[in-house]
Structure 1
Amino acid sequence: MQQILTRTTTFVLLALLATACAKTDDATPNPITTQPALTEHLTLGNPSGSTMDPGQPTNYLLSKSQYALSYHRD
């Protein structure tokens, strides 16, 4: 009986570990990192989450061929 309980517990723990380590697929590409000019400058990410949307004047992504930066109107 003890052996069956140990095997069952081990199986359950391995199953939980396998599901916790599963990767998720993000099917939507990030529009910022798919643009060639921005890929070079935002290699490490976009920490402020700025976008190139003119409707976001307090967190606007300003992109030039030499650099990319977050702009705050105020």
Structure 2
Amino acid sequence: MLGRWVGTKRKPGEHGPEVTKKFIDLCFADYKPSLDWPGVSFGWMQKWMGRNLQRAVNELKAEQQRAERNEGVDNTWF
């Protein structure tokens, strides 16, 4: 599953490592463990917390846009 998302040496993945890491981080931040379900797997995250994928993609795009916008800013002025 992770190979399909992240990619392998021979084949690129659907989302890449940055989006996958952000997705997993968002899922762990949202998940509240219980006695019946003390942990989660990546398959469970994909099925039940898929809404976090769009959040991860949007947050990474916003970070990239912010970095591009601030690329030519002179920090000595601030």
Normalised TM-score (structure 1): 0.29
Q: Name the larger-Rg structure.
A: 1
Which is richer in strand? 1
Which structure has more relative contact order (CA 8 Å, sep 6+)? It is 2
Normalised TM-score (structure 2): 0.28
